[in-house]
Structure 1
Amino acid sequence: MRLVATASIQPGEVLGQTIYRDNGTILLHSGVQFTARLVKRLLEQGITYVYIEDEATKDIVVQSVLSDRLRQDATSSMRSLFADVQKNKLNKNSFVLDEGEKNLTEIIHRIAEEISSHDESISLLTDIYLTDDYIFQHSLNVTIYALAIGATLNLNAQELAELGKGAILHDIGKVFIDPEILQKPDKLTDEEYEIMKSHTIFGYDVLRKNHNYSSVVAHCAYQHHERLDGTGYPRGLKGSDIHLFAQIIGVADVFDAVTSNRVYRKAMLPHEGVELLYSSAVEQFDIRVVEAFKSSVAVYPNGISVELSDNRQGVVMKQNKTICDRPIIRILKENDKDVEPYTVDLSKSLNVTITKCNLVK
């Protein structure tokens, strides 16, 4: 399969991977033949990339990080918990958070298990879902990234559980933000931005008042927008005053935000998102966390077309798990001329680098 920009699909090409809604129902089956109308529909639904069938890459395997069942269960749990928290406001005695904590603990455990059993580096670009509410998809993605970072930093099982809960609930305060501000397609005004920033305080308040959630989990909601140089919010904390888990979630949060398609902004590709993190490392993010993130995530996902520094062109066919920016490439062209396909492992060919990604077949 080959990963391509939806806008570049030509009528007659065939969908290589089923596209799901986040509730588990199928939006579009693999094997369906595209029409111009179908492509337009996907673009209107916000589907930026898809996998198509391709003779030269038909054996390239795309692995989902999470099983469909776990993704559905996690989304359903978040949907229920967030809705009930919004309904009950800041009632510290609400049984809703008590029951929700039990469900989330199980969900986090299952996510951590599936990540650890995944035999390639993580790529969420390969999991193509249509979601009705960005906050749930984003919270789940941030949780996956945060747990992967935590495992790379050798956090123990209890620490990973706390980190996972902090990640999945980091934006729970947004249920108290006016939907017109939360879902505004244009840039926020200064006044609206100040209101938006208050989600960190709301999230902290609702979590700290419930005995089932630790202070650490509450501070993940409170501090995930803080930055090492003091430029973050809500308190402008610096350096070690920001909890490590909040720093991890902050990195995961930024990466998922910039690599997700939004009405007002085109999504970056993973390697562009990683470059953005590195450009802010030291000043805003702990370099150890950024390095752990890079070691966990597929910078160039399977199926994406790439150009190399020696003018060869090909498609990423497999990841090197511990060297995520140097995958195995199937070479299809040399100096723009077709060649008999062969592979090159960039973890061994150290004098060659990827210079460009191409999402147009």
Structure 2
Amino acid sequence: MEYTLENLEELRLGSVIAQDILVNTKTPIIRKDTKITREHIQVLRAFNISKVPIALDNVFNRTEEEMNKLNEEKVTIEKKVSLPEIKASFGKLYNDAVNNYYKEFNSWEAGIKVDVARLRTIIMPLVDKAMEDKQIFSLLNEFSSPDRYIAHHAIAVGIFSGAIAKKLRFPPGQINQLATAGLMADVGMAKVDRKIREKKSYLTETDFSEIKKHTIYSFQMIKDSPLLKPEMKLAIFQHHERLNGSGYPKGERMENISIESQIIAIADVYHAMTSERIYRSRSSSFKVLEMIKEEEFGKYSIEVVNALISLVGALPISTRVRLSNGEIGEIVFLHRDSPMRPMIRLTETGQIFDLATNRSMHIESVIN
């Protein structure tokens, strides 16, 4: 392939890279035949690359379709808002949903039937909002708190369930159903003794046996609703089952556990582990994602896990982060097979730090 070396600052969007670009990395930071976007330019700048090999055939030949895509990208970037702005706009919607869910939960404790239609109106605006700006997914655990945790958890599981379903290209109707089912997965906790639910220490074996019954209670509370499809009712019943048979209430395995059940399961365990609880502090989202994918391998659908990772684990280039050792830096490169372990340019020293080869450290949090 014939090519020319173009100055980075003169590089045009849509130009095609003529050779793999390697910078002390096992894999190219940008692969041959890649069409340049603004994000690629940020990566090249971060690695101090001043000359870029560009295919000659592409320099003067751009289709109308390619130009339209570049214009769309420009509009998208211009509309990008800061994390504080996102938190402010989404926060009110989220807090209203938590308060509304908690009112419903109190009514279930009093014996009132579950209003599926009402719950659907609570969760869907949040799912739609989160899909508009995916930075919200990395912030959800920050909104959660030990106070009214049941409501916070239900809202987050609903959001993640709907978003994962959308990522897996489920039809719109099923996305709505899964978001609602995720929100309703723990309605049965209203039938569990409040003393056990709100216990400020680790649960005893007896306590946990009672907690396990919540999936059965949840199913009983929603099984007669005509607004929820049978597969969603099954997903609510099965969301604590695991592919290796280690889950409950029936210890089902593999093909006996529906994909809808697995989606809610992943949403449930991820939010629970990344949220602050009465008896323990929250864990880093990135550490939890790695644990789910590697240490808990065999329990969850890889397809569903990867969908979640694509939502919360692959942060944009230039995102500022705090590492587990306290150092601050910005993401300059994402590994294709391990997006949770990007390359970071440290703010204090300018050093490029590769989390893929330094496994003892991880991203602790995103910095606003």
Same fold, TM exceeding 0.5? Answer: yes
Q: Distance in 2 between matches of 1:65 and 1:243?
A: 37
Match of 2:322 among 289, 299, 305: 305
Q: Structure 1 residues 359 and 199, CA, compared in 2 at 3 Å: closer, same or farther?
A: closer
Residues paired across the two proteins, number:
282
List alignment gaps of at least 5 residues for structure 1: 1-58
Which residue in the other structure is 2:109 paired with? Answer: 86
Which string of whole-angstrom CA distances, capped at 9 and with x for unpartnered residues, describes residues 36-71 of structure 1? xxxxxxxxxxxxxxxxxxxxxxx9745439713321
Contact 2:320-2:328 within 8 A present in 1 as well: no
Distance 1:72 1:202, change over 3 A: same
1:159 to 165, 174, 188: 174
Please list the CA deviations of residues 75-121 of structure 1 after superposition, one character each: whole Å capped at 9, or x if unmatched.
Answer: 133122222222126xxxx4xx3xx3223223333123212211547
Aligned mates of 2:136, 2:361 — CA distance in 1: 20
In structure 2, the CA distance between the partners of 1:175 and 1:296, relative to structure 1 (3 Å rule), is same
Q: Residue 356 of structure 1 is aligned with which of 358, 361, 367?
A: 361
- Equivalent in 235, 251, 263 of residue 278 of structure 2: 263
Correspondence 1:174 to 2:189: yes
What are the Cα deviations for residues 282-338 of structure 1, in whole angstroms up to 9, with x where unaligned?
421111111111111146795432389xxxx53347997x9852668553133xxxx
What letter corresponds to residue 272 of structure 1 in structure 2? K
> What fraction of aligned residue pairs are identical, expressed as a percent?
24
* Cα distance change of structure 1 residues 258 and 298 upon mapping to structure 2, 3 Å threshold: same
DSSP-derived class of the 2:275 partner: coil
What TM-score, normalized by structure 2, do the two folds share? 0.66
Distance apart, 1:265 and its partner CA = 2.2
Q: 2:127 aligns with which of 109, 112, 120?
A: 112
- Counterpart secondary structure, 1:305: strand
Residue in 1 aligned with 2:219?
A: 204
Q: What is the DSSP-based 3-state SS (H/G/I as helix, E as strand, rest coil) of the residue aligned with 1:292? A: helix
> Residues 351, 141 of structure 1: CA spacing in aligned structure 2 closer, same or farther, 3 A cutoff?
closer
Would the alpha carbon gap of residues 318 and 106 (structure 1) be closer, same or farther in structure 2, given more than 3 Å must change? farther
2:163 to 141, 144, 148: 148
Q: In structure 1, how many angstroms separate the alpha carbons of the residues matched to 2:140 and 2:123?
A: 21
1:7-36 superposed Cα distances (whole Å, 9 cap, x missing partner): xxxxxxxxxxxxxxxxxxxxxxxxxxxxxx
**1:129 to partner: Cα distance:** 5.2
Per the TM alignment, residue 189 of structure 1 is displaced from its structure 2 partner at its CA by 2.0
- What pairs with 1:26-65 in structure 2 (closer than 5 Å)? 61-62=83-84, 63-64=86-87
Of 293, 296, 315, the match for 2:308: 293
Question: Structure 2: how far apart are the matches of 1:350 and 1:275?
Answer: 12
The alignment status of 1:133 with 2:138, answered yes or no, reads: no
Which residue does 1:27 correspond to in 2? none
Normalised by the size of structure 1, how large is the TM-score?
Answer: 0.67
1:184 and 2:199 aligned: yes
How far the C-alpha of 1:221 sits from its partner, in A, is: 2.2
Tell me the alpha carbon deviations over residues 334-354 of structure 1, each in whole angstroms, 9 at most, x when there is no partner: 3xxxx5xx9x7x9xx998778
* Structure number having the greater helix percentage: 2
Structure 1's 359 and 134: CA in aligned 2 closer, same or farther, altered over 3 A?
A: same
Q: Any conservation in 1 of the 2:342–2:356 contact (CA below 8 Å)?
A: no
1:335-350 correspondence to structure 2 within 5 Å: none
Q: Does 1:221 align with 2:236?
A: yes
Aligned equivalents of 2:355 and 2:286: distance in 1?
A: 18
User: What CA distance in whole angstroms lies between the structure 1 residues aligned with 2:120 and 2:363?
Assistant: 40
Following superposition, the deviation at residue 167 of structure 1 comes to 0.5
In 2: Cα distance, 1:85 partner to 1:267 partner: 28
Distance 1:186 1:258, change over 3 A: same
Give 2:321's aligned amino acid: I
Aligned AA for 2:219? Y
Q: Which residue of 1 aligns with 2:24?
A: none
Q: Taking structure 1 as reference, are residues 150 and 222 closer, same or farther at Cα in structure 2, changes over 3 Å only?
A: same
Unaligned runs of 5+ in 2: 1-80
For 1:235 and 1:329, the matched residues in 2 are separated by 44
User: What does the per-residue CA deviation read over 1:97-153, in whole Å, with 9 as the maximum and x for residues that have no partner?
Assistant: 3xx322322333312321221154720267445463110111111122222221211
| Structure-2 separation of matches of 1:315 and 1:65 | 24
| Cα distance, 1:69–1:359 mapped onto 2, change above 3 Å | closer
Structure 1 position 69 matched with structure 2 position 92: yes
In the other structure, the counterpart of 1:314 is 328
What is the CA distance between 1:259 and its match in structure 2? 1.2
For residue 207 of structure 1, report the CA deviation from its aligned partner: 0.4
| Mapped contact 1:270–1:300 kept (Cα < 8 A) | no
Whether contact under 8 Å (2:130, 2:136) holds in the other structure is: no
**Which has the larger Rg?**
2
Contact 2:127 2:162 in 1 (8 A): yes
Q: Is the CA contact (8 Å cut-off) linking 2:239 and 2:265 kept in structure 1?
A: yes
Q: Is the 8 A contact 1:248 1:289 kept in 2?
A: yes
| C-alpha distance in structure 1 between counterparts of 2:358 and 2:82, whole Å | 21
